């Protein structure tokens, strides 16, 4: 059971679930946003999201067995307690659950076309693991796009269907805030995916991979990561200046828990060369992502 929980990255799934709960029961409720899903419906939305994510982790590991034998032999679960057939069956099962619930929810809100979002996500996860992962940057962008969707999904299924002529402006503002968080999640995760490619360069090379570090080399890829890292940094500074500048609590939170570690990351990435360097920097990005996304739960408090 422990190996299975590690295979589906239970820690990451819990984080996703916490973010989704905070969006609905902290952000939406504190702003009195109009919502369309019942509590049961929203729980189903969370389950669908987690099911597709778990399936994505499984199919990714199925295609990564060769590389993982080199990159992380101690964390190799498929073929070491969990057979490939069992793992693939779990992948299929999780996708059926995710897509099935998505179809149900899309019909509940009266927008059956929205079920395509779940079908698209399921297909994209498979295409990523089987092909896009070895296309420089394309794989990184694909995963980051799906991570960004975690923040946007409640807006699509809960906020948009509840829009009416009276609340249109307010609902649009709340959805805009979710898109800001999606933007943040996309770029921080993109940086992390690129850093993980640096960390796994040896195994990816031996497995016939074609990632950016394999093509450009470590030093040049570090420079690309640095340049991309300036985008969220500049965006966050602009956000502080435009929306948070007069709120001391919000400014201090962002400066110490997001800006400071992001600046540290940018300084360190230029000189990183060893696997342990990239492992440490990946952890820093994960911490930045954590503090950035959970702030949605007390967004109103920070803005008071």
- Asked whether 287 and 264 are in contact (CB, 8 A), the reply is no
Cβ count within 10 A of residue 6: 16
State the residue range of the domain holding 165: 2-303
Q: What is the domain count for the chain?
A: 1
pLDDT tens, N- to C-terminus, the chain (304 residues):
777 888 788 888 999 999 999 999 989 888 888 999 999 999 999 999 999 998 888 887 777 766 667 767 676 777 777 788 888 898 899 999 999 999 999 999 999 999 999 999 888 888 887 777 777 788 888 888 888 888 899 999 999 999 998 999 998 999 999 999 999 999 999 999 899 888 888 877 776 778 889 888 899 999 999 999 999 999 999 988 887 777 788 889 999 999 999 999 999 999 999 989 999 999 999 999 999 998 888 766 555 5
Question: What is residue 296's DSSP assignment?
Answer: G
pTM of the model: 0.91
Q: Are 33 and 157 in contact (CB under 8 A)?
A: no
Total Cβ atoms within 10 A of residue 131: 13
């Amino acid at each position: 059971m422990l190996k299975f929980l590690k295979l589906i990255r239970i820690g990451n799934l819990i984080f996703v679930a916490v973010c989704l709960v905070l969006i609905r029961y902290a952000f939406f409720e504190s702003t009195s946003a109009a919502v369309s899903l019942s509590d049961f419906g929203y729980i189903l939305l969370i389950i669908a999201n987690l099911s597709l994510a778990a399936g994505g982790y499984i199919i990714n590991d199925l295609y990564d067995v060769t590389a993982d034998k080199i990159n992380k032999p101690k964390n190799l679960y498929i073929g070491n307690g969990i057979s490939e057939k069992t793992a693939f069956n779990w992948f299929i099962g999780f996708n059926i659950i995710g897509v099935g619930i998505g179809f149900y929810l899309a019909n509940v809100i009266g927008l059956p076309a929205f079920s395509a979002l779940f079908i698209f996500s399921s297909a994209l996860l498979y295409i990523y693991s089987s092909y896009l992962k070895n296309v420089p940057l394309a794989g990184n962008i694909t995963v980051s796009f799906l991570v960004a969707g975690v923040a946007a999904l409640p807006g699509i299924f809960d906020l948009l269907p509840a829009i009416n002529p009276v609340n249109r402006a307010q609902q649009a503002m709340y959805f805009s805030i979710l898109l800001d968080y999606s933007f943040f999640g996309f770029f921080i995760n993109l940086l992390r995916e690129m850093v993980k490619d640096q960390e796994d360069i040896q195994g990816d090379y031996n497995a016939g991979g074609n990632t950016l570090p394999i093509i450009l080399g470590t030093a040049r890829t570090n420079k690309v990561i640095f340049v991309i890292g300036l985008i969220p940094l500049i965006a966050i500074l602009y956000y502080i200046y435009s929306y948070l500048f007069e709120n001391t609590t919000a400014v201090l939170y962002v400066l110490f828990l997001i800006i400071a570690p992001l600046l540290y990351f940018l300084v360190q990435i230029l000189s990183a060369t060893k696997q342990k360097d990239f492992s440490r920097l990946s952890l820093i990005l994960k911490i930045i992502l954590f503090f950035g996304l959970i702030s949605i739960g007390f967004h109103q408090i920070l803005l008071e």
